Structure 1
């Protein structure tokens, strides 16, 4: 990244004008070498922004969010997942409550039409429960994928902003003043 910012600095109008004013006493290659040799000192001018960038990268790659956001997200998850688990479970229990007596009536031969009706009702309730579970799983996976993409996009955006702030500070507070100083020294012969 340092070299990319250096290329951007070398292409700035103020640097090009200073090089043209100085004439042949300064070369772009020599300026580049001097900047690369002073890399540590130039980088120190944007140290705060670099630390903020590193923190943004660390926050963007960490899987656990901060405490307050975690509490809000977990509350939202439970409010959505409770019915998704509760309703199909109740349907399955009701289905079993119909199936057991229906099978009992059928096995012992008493009231076969009632037994068949209870078995049919139980199977229908179990089928609806299975369908609800499948639908809920699909719905939850879609919601989770959307949340992950939004969170990832927010983290990437934050990291990108922090990186750009660091590059801008490196450019304006470090490289451009250093290059102008080097060009001036070359012109005056110091």
Structure 2
């Protein structure tokens, strides 16, 4: 089962269309004009017909849908611009902003450099401690090693705090999801609700009423019915007409023959008839 592609219905909104259709079919027995589901056409047959007629049904609410899409795109563009300014603003700043970037790089590199220096000084210091006689600067190397070790620990702590602050800042500027549990902005929600209402009242319900009221839609017939009223052509073909068979005659038909005409004989004198 495939749904026809509606030129004005975006892929992300087709789930809404099917959801509204399913709700209408589920509550059809409480709606006038569509409470006869099951007598001649069942819900699944009507659903298939409505999915194949997506372009016709959604066209009834085209104005509301265009407004909904426009408001939604404007909201998305505005939210994306706000996030871009919050993220790219520090990078586009003046000298103070550049200094902040240099500080961030230094915060990352300081623990690495200090840790490397601490490892080298401690390694050579303890090796010299094993030599006999012990060199005088072995204790100096150990002291320097422990000093750089302390710098490494401080640098790691500072980097962790910086990452935490960045995560909190990004979380505050994150754009909320529009669906799947997230709430839509008020203007978008109102436009969406207006489209859904128009789609149901002016598109889906009139289509279902027309389908149920059309006597030519016979699900038991092996030949698909013809198109009538507002019911779209859903893979149906019109009745086949054939010309009368060649052998059948409705009556004798007189036969006429045209008279034979001959042209007069013309020619020079020597060819005159005798």
TM-score norm. by structure 2 comes to 0.40
Greater radius of gyration (CA): 2
Contact 2:50 2:207 in 1 (8 A): no
Among residues 191, 201, 224, which one is paired with 1:176 in the alignment? 201
Aligned to 1:3: 18
Identify unmatched segments of 5+ residues in structure 2.
1-14, 126-135, 216-228, 230-274
Aligned to 2:158: 136
Cα deviation per residue 1:118-177 (whole Å; 9 max; x = unaligned)? 54553333112111222233334444455555655x342578445984764442121332
Contact 1:10 1:16 in 2 (8 A): no
Deviation of residue 49 (structure 1)? Answer: 2.5
Among residues 72, 96, 106, which one is paired with 1:85 in the alignment? 106
Equivalents in 1 of 2:74, 2:161: separation in Å?
Answer: 34
Mark the CA change 1:7 to 1:150 in structure 2 (over 3 Å): closer, same or farther: farther
Equivalents in 2 of 1:68, 1:33: separation in Å?
Answer: 48
Q: Which stretch has the larger CA shift, 116-125 or 3-12?
A: 116-125
1:125 aligns with 2:150: no
Contact 1:84 1:136 in 2 (8 A): no
Mark the CA change 1:119 to 1:22 in structure 2 (over 3 Å): closer, same or farther: closer
Equivalents in 1 of 2:141, 2:40: separation in Å?
Answer: 98
Cα deviation per residue 1:85-123 (whole Å; 9 max; x = unaligned)? 36x95x95xx99xx9xxx9xxxxxxxx5xx667545533
Cα deviation per residue 1:29-62 (whole Å; 9 max; x = unaligned)? 45424432332341634234345556777999x8
TM-score norm. by structure 1 comes to 0.52
Contact 1:35 1:179 in 2 (8 A): yes
Equivalents in 1 of 2:102, 2:20: separation in Å?
Answer: 48
Equivalents in 2 of 1:172, 1:147: separation in Å?
Answer: 39
Equivalents in 2 of 1:74, 1:156: separation in Å?
Answer: 28
* Aligned-partner SS, 1:49: helix
Equivalents in 2 of 1:73, 1:124: separation in Å?
Answer: 37
* Aligned-partner SS, 2:177: helix
Question: Over the residues paired in the alignment, what is the CA RMSD in angstroms?
Answer: 5.3
User: What aligned pairs does 1:98-117 form with structure 2 within 5 A after superposition?
Assistant: 112=136
Mark the CA change 1:54 to 1:67 in structure 2 (over 3 Å): closer, same or farther: same
Contact 1:46 1:170 in 2 (8 A): yes
Aligned to 1:32: 47
1:16 aligns with 2:16: no
* Aligned-partner SS, 2:20: helix
Q: Which stretch has the larger CA shift, 154-163 or 40-49?
A: 154-163
Identify unmatched segments of 5+ residues in structure 1.
104-111
- Higher RCO (CA-CA < 8 Å; seq separation 6+): 1
Mark the CA change 1:168 to 1:134 in structure 2 (over 3 Å): closer, same or farther: same
Aligned residues: 170
